[in-house]
Amino acid sequence: MNQNLKVIHLILSREKIIDFFKVNFDLISHDKGQNIKKEDAISIIRAMGQNPSQNDSQQALSKAGLSAKKYLNFVEFKLYADFIWNDEDEESLESMLYSAFKQLDENQSGSIDSSELRKIMLNYGEPLSFQECNDLMMLADINHDGKISYLEFIRLFTQTLDD
């Protein structure tokens, strides 16, 4: 296992992962974090670095007893997510942040620049304003080089969950 992933594994507790689920759930929810459309659940999982197929998603919903539901509350989403994570390999949870970082780093430069961050934050989930994207970039870019490195990304993630 990569040294950075070992560090992430030590930092992340189950509670922080659930907090990360909640942040993503709230971004997708159209009713202030109460519910999401069942079909949006896979989008949240994919935004968190996993890539289950539609079939995997349907199987997880079925195993969780949620196939007939049109909307999922957060408790139901966590149950669904647990089935997705448990069907993945053992390192999936540990590599979640690394996968998310790689997806944000579209040009695979090893860092996320402001245009990559803006593209994601303006177009997915609950869109942030241009100013909010700038504020997020300033918060994350600790060394002020105009890019978010992997370690800055991890620090932003853990700092956000601790606040």
Decide which of 141 and 161 is more confident. 141
SS3 state at 73: strand
Please give the model's pTM, rounded to 2 decimal places: 0.48
**Confidence at residue 143, expressed as pLDDT on a 0 to 100 scale:** 92
Decide which of 90 and 79 is more confident. 79
Residues 7-36 have a mean pLDDT of 73
112-145 pLDDT, tens digit per residue, is 999 998 888 877 667 788 888 888 899 889 999 9
Structure tokens at 115: 């245009």
- Identify the weakest region by mean pLDDT among 6-20, 36-50, 62-76, 112-126: 6-20
CA atoms within 13 A on the CB side of 93: 20
Structure tokens at 119: 């593209």
State which of 6-10, 71-75, 85-89, 117-121 shows the largest mean pLDDT.
Answer: 71-75
Does the pLDDT at position 21 exceed 90? no
SS3 state at 110: coil
Structure tokens at 40: 């949006």
Residue 146 gets the label, from left (phi > 0), alpha (psi -120 to 50) or beta, of left
84-94 pLDDT, tens digit per residue, is 876 544 444 44
**Confidence at residue 30, expressed as pLDDT on a 0 to 100 scale:** 86
Does the pLDDT at position 70 exceed 90? yes
